[in-house]
Amino acid sequence: MIWTAKESIYKALGIKGVSFSDNIIIKNINKNKGHGYYINGKEKYKFDLKFFSIEEYILCYAQSNN
């Protein structure tokens, strides 16, 4: 679920050169929702995350909260 969330934030940002390990932080994942952050220097963007299970797949939707 963490990787899916980070990938969703990465795609929502549309910025090249983002480091999944350094710039994208995932916090507070519960059953089907959570929060994530893109942090780069003084830039910080918060994302609401929603997870959906479809058969054996997990879909994550990232919506900017800024």
Report the pLDDT value the prediction gives residue 66, as an integer from 0 to 100: 81
Phi/psi at 15 (5° precision): -110, 130
Report the pLDDT value the prediction gives residue 47, as an integer from 0 to 100: 97
Q: Which are the contacts of 29, defined by CB distance < 8 A and separation ≥ 6? A: 1, 2, 5, 49, 51
Q: What is the pLDDT along the chain (66 residues), one digit of tens a residue?
A: 899 999 999 999 999 999 999 999 999 899 899 999 999 999 999 999 999 999 999 999 999 988
Cα–Cα distance for residue pair 55/34, rounded to 1 Å: 21
- Which burial class, exposed, middle or buried, applies to 12 when counting CB atoms under 10 A from its CB (0-12, 13-18, 19+)? middle
Domain boundaries, the chain: 2-64
